[in-house]
Structure 1
């Protein structure tokens, strides 16, 4: 299944409002917990990044040095 930005938007709105059910394209999905919503959002973000050439999930690293 190819995810869309609309899928991600629906999940992010549900997360922001604390709603466990989302609806898009005439389908309703109810997640068991906020944790499940967050996991689904992360999966969709990763897949959308793969669909965009030259794009990758961003991460950062902190380096601490003691002088």
Structure 2
């Protein structure tokens, strides 16, 4: 799905104001928690970056219980 900058801006302003209900383009969306709202913002920003040709960055985390 292709996201718009207006959607990203609406998510950012909702997080900044602490509101869980958004309205844009005649649609209403209500999120259950701030964590869900932040996850939606991360998805929109990642999709916009992919659409603009930004490289995908991945992290590999290594954990050990004993000394190596």
Q: Structure 2: which 5+ residue stretches go unaligned?
A: 58-68
Q: Matched residue pairs, number?
A: 58
Calculate the TM-score normalised by the size of structure 1. Answer: 0.79
Distance 1:16 1:30 in 2: 16
Aligned to 2:23: 23
Q: Please identify the structure whose Cα radius of gyration is greater.
A: 2
Give, in whole Å, the separation in 1 of the partners of 2:56 and 2:34: 22
Structure 2: distance between partners of 1:57 and 1:19: 30
Distance 1:16 1:52, change over 3 A: same
How many Å separate the matches in 2 of 1:22 and 1:56?
A: 30
| TM, length-normalised to structure 2 | 0.78
Q: 1:11 to 1:57 in 2, by over 3 A?
A: farther
Task: Structure 1: give runs of 5+ residues left out of the alignment.
Answer: 59-67
